[in-house]
Structure 1
Amino acid sequence: MSHSADPSSFSGPLPLQPERSGASIWDRQFVWTTLGAVSLIFLAALQTLAVTTVMPAVADDLNGYDLYALAFSGTFATSVIGMVAAGAMSDRKGPAIPITGAVGLFLVGLLIDAAAPTMEILVTGRLVMGLGSGGMVVSLYVVIARVYPANLHGRVMALFAAAWIIPSLIGPAAAGAVTEFVHWRWVFGGVAVFAVMAFSMIAPRLRGIPDSDDAPADGRVGARLGLAGIVAVAALVLNLAGKGEGIGLPTWGTGAVALGAITVVALAMRPLVPRRTYLAGRGLPSVILMRGLIAGALFGAEIYVPYLFQDRYGFSPTFAGLGLTAAAITWTAGSEITGRYGDRIGNRNIALSGIFLLTGALTAMALSAWLLLPPWIPIVLWGLAGFGMGLMYPRLTVLSLAYSTRNNQGFNSSALQISDAVGTASSMAIMGLIFTLAADGFTAVFAFSVVLALVALLPGFRLGHAAELRR
């Protein structure tokens, strides 16, 4: 590809490594990379779920409830900047330097939080951790693209999805036990120790990863970082607007702030994603757009699932998470299927099946909230949402790599993660407004999620056939 190639217009496909019949992600040359990469994903998931559990105790201990929300939203904000920085550096120098720096920032953030004497310092650690976690995932995608043959990418992404299931099942309980019987500081410190061990597995393999032969396809690093900062700040403003009266705004003011923030996010994001993404252009643009839409539909609605079970069905906090546990298990099952048979099933069929399952689950939740259906119905059917996402989510990552070349893997990987993160944060903020203003907040939120999932059909029909054409 020429040095002047546009990373946002390439529609591939181009194999990143030659196909190798019979190769496995557990072969000798891949095993330590596999173990290290999956361990880092596992720890990122564990940290996310564990912090959600222990943060009330942290805020109480440090007298910092006024900064409680910022401890979460700030991490998202800085992760966008980390994604762009890691993607740009990966395209220039390869993934070794950015992943080392990202893991380093992740560790520094954890250690700051483990020792934080005040809530202000703990939030500072969370901001540093966000830089690291955002950069770490993007860098890992580039590592996967350059280390493994293309026909193994689906298997690795299925394993990444599976790495979330154990934290989903035991992470909150384990973090709660550590907080209760030891101290919440060990939740942060323990993850830091294990992160060092995980990185030691993958670090020796990084030295052998080749750099790109071509110049980076996008050289506007400073401009992209500036835009990432704008996206991050606007996303924070949007989430604050979602709190409505909690920040002293009247209803009309809340809506105006939210609309302005969404506009700024959309404009600032435009150069950070492929051209024609907003128009569902065929190939890579539709991959990026669909990822943001389905992430917004599921993750935006997911935070209201346990809330519904507690508020409408009278479940305890422990049993209110049954639907989420079911979805975590079925997500892994869907990922395994698409990882093994994705090329045979086909991208359009995967998209249609996944969106059908996701839409069905969201519709069931809306009807359950409206008609108060028996509780087993939303619990079981929410598992369909996890299965549908398991089919689609890793497949979209595989397609983003298939539509990439060595000089734009970082750009495309960061675009995928930015779409994911911004889609989730934006939908959560909008749903917060809907929940506050609607007569039946639960029904309205789930109905809005159904609309988002249905809109994802448009890019779903235009994903292209990158993986199949490589054969």
Structure 2
Amino acid sequence: MAGPDQARPGPDLTRLLLVGSVALITLVAFENLAVGTAMPQVTADLGGLRLYAVASGAPLAAQLVATAAGGAWSDARGPRGSLVLGIVLFCAGLVVAGLAPSMEILAIGRAVQGFGGGLLLVPLYVLVGALVPQAQQPRFFAAFAAAWVVPGLVGPGIAGLVVEHASWRWIFLAVPVLTVIVSVILLPLLRRIGSHDGPASRGTPARTRRLLLAGLGAGLAAGVLQVAGAERSAWAWTAAAGAVVVLVLATPVLLPGGTARLRRGVPAAVACRGLLNATFISAETFLPLLLVREHGWPTWAAGLVLTVGSLTWALGSQIQGRIQDPRRRAQITWAGPAVLTLGTLVAAAATLPGAPPWLVLVGWTVAGVGMGLVFPALSVFVLQATPASEHGRVSSALQMSDGLGAALGLAAAGALFTTLVGVGGSGAYLAGLLLAAALGALAALAGGRASVPDDPRA
């Protein structure tokens, strides 16, 4: 490892790290949101409606695996290798998806893209911790957060225009070109960190190995459940059963004890985060498809759902930041999920005969506010309820719960959608949205058990 003088680059390289990292995160975030807008047209062109949820969720499951692998790799051998391979795989997966002749190939490309995205994101945070003075780190992380928000405001609209006036394939094929340009800009920094890219330690602690194996297992199991949900065969049921067993074994390693039982305090808060993501992602994935396929909306108009959700999420986040009274903040942890559930039910009403499709926009406006209220509030609660020495562990648990919730929620909604979509009408969408609302109600229950003033770790 390098000494302190090597570990701290000059202001030019620090600025380069900020610009390059924000650019990479923006590209990853843009791709995630833009593809959500384009997927209805992708499905219309390639067929394979039963694989809609698989192609949408493959990056989520792959990113879980990559997050576990990238963290262990960065700890053991430094961040450069994970960053470089992540960029290569991210670009390769996008090219495969952009040239895909079928939904099966598209899903494979998206899985590779998601794995690469996970590998390249982890070392960016590691580099900030290792190379940026502590006083400047909040500025970096604020910029990282903005890099996730801004694509939500413009990405769906851009994607809709590209689909309408060119081809959905360019949404996949243009991003690798931009990623390569950003990577070239980052070359001086990559050469700089290459000088101490050797092993950080001679051995991996037992707990780190357990976390790595559990993370790999959970991510692979989530991917298996997504694929199995699109099939109706004996092997699919067998694979799904095996995946459930792996999840039962892996999640106690990754999440605080008592998370599955919604134990009061931090475990319930961690469970709430996973249930929130399960609700939001499983519903949002199918809303553009509902508007395009069942109501005949153009792609750009259907993409407004994603933009509205991002805008009101940011609004909700600003509102919760102004609430200082401890009692009112304690109420946010159940009120936010309740608002999310209400918004999901309003959106689901658009599937009923004769209901206006604009109910989707109204519902998702409300749902975004709920997510914005509760998501940052849970992070604050968890950090305040744990000793500083455990902040890394609980932060990791929150991130893992986010990823697992999104991947598993989408797997469940996708299986339900695949089962019912052949019946015709909007029943498959209604069932999926009602499932999402039920998960939101569970999130409200978990949030209520999280906001306990006495003995928050009990």
- Report the TM range for the smaller structure's normalisation: 0.7 to 0.9
Instruction: Name the stretch that deviates more: 59-68 or 445-454.
Output: 59-68
Residues 44-66 of structure 1: CA deviation (Å, up to 9, x unaligned): 01222445567899999999999
Judge conservation of contact 2:162–2:168 (CA < 8 Å) in 1: no
CA distance 1:216–1:330, change in 2 (3 Å): farther
Structure 1, residues 292-318: CA drift from partner, whole Å, max 9, x if none? 100101111112223333455443444
* More displaced stretch, 132-141 vs 116-125: 116-125
Distance 1:350 1:375, change over 3 A: same
Which residue number in structure 1 is paired with residue 214 of structure 2? 227
In the aligned structure 2, how far is the partner of 1:311 from the partner of 1:185?
22
Correspondent of 1:341 among 317, 322, 327:
322
Select the residue among 245, 256, 277 that pairs with 1:295: 277
Corresponding residue to 2:249 among 251, 259, 267: 267
* One of 371, 378, 382 as aligned partner of 1:389: 371
Quote how far apart the aligned CAs of 1:420 are: 2.0
More helix by share: 2
One-letter identity of the residue aligned with 2:118:
G
State the distance in 1 between where 2:161 and 2:414 align. 29
Amino acid of the structure 1 residue aligned with 2:24: L
> Structure 2: how far apart are the matches of 1:333 and 1:205?
39
Amino acid across the alignment from 2:322 = Y
Give the stretch that moved more between structures: 353-362 or 115-124: 115-124
The higher relative CO (CA closer than 8 Å, separation ≥ 6) is in 1
Name which of 327, 343, 363 aligns with 2:345. 363
2:150 to 148, 163, 178: 163
Question: Residues 248 and 276 from structure 1, CA distance in 2 versus in 1: closer, same or farther, beyond 3 angstroms?
Answer: closer
CA offsets 1:16-55 (integer angstroms, 9 cap, x no match): xxxxxxxxxxx99986655444322211012224455678
Aligned residues: CA RMSD? 4.9
Partner of 2:301: 319
Q: In structure 2, what is the Cα distance between the partners aligned to 1:437 and 1:367?
A: 18
Counterpart-to-counterpart distance in 2, 1:406 and 1:204: 33
Q: Please give the TM-score of this superposition, normalised by the length of structure 1.
A: 0.70
Match 1:173 to one of 154, 160, 173: 160
- Cα distance between partner residues in 2 of 1:87 and 1:389: 27
Partner of 1:423: 405
Distance 1:325 1:422, change over 3 A: same
Shift of 1:217: 10
Q: Is the 8 A contact 2:265 2:450 kept in 1?
A: yes
Q: Secondary structure at the match of 2:62?
A: helix
* 3-state DSSP of counterpart to 1:308: helix
Structure 1 residues 227 and 447: CA distance shift in structure 2, 3 A: same
Does the C-alpha gap of structure 1 residues 291 and 171 become closer, same or farther in structure 2, counting only changes over 3 Å?
farther
- CA 1:214 to 1:233, structure 2 compared with 1: closer, same or farther past 3 Å? closer
Partner in structure 1 of residue 434 of structure 2 = 447
| 3-state SS of paired residue (2:262) | coil
Q: Secondary structure at the match of 2:278?
A: helix
Residue of 222, 229, 232 corresponding to 1:242: 229
Q: Give the TM-score normalised by the residue count of structure 2.
A: 0.72
2:322 counterpart SS class: helix
Q: What corresponds to 1:11 in structure 2?
A: none
1:324-360 residue CA offsets vs partner (Å, 9 max, x unmatched): 332122122223444x536667653332332122011
- For 1:42, the equivalent position in structure 2 comes to 26
Gap change, CA 1:76 and 1:311, over 3 Å in 2: closer
Indicate the larger mover: 227-236 or 45-54: 45-54
Which of 74, 77, 80 is 2:61 aligned to?
77
Moved more, 50-59 or 387-396: 50-59
Partners of 1:91 and 1:406 within 8 A in 2: no
| Residues 119-141 of structure 1: CA deviation (Å, up to 9, x unaligned) | 99987665443333123344445
Alpha carbons 1:283, 1:463 under 8 Å: kept: yes
In 2, distance between residues paired with 1:375 and 1:67?
24
Larger deviation, residues 122-131 vs 36-45: 122-131
The 8 Å contact of residues 17 and 186 in structure 2, kept in 1 or not, is answered as: no
The residue matched to 2:352 in structure 1 has which SS? helix
Q: Which amino acid aligns with 2:60?
A: F
Identical counterparts, % of pairs: 30
Q: SS at 1:374's partner residue?
A: coil
Q: Which amino acid aligns with 1:330?
A: T
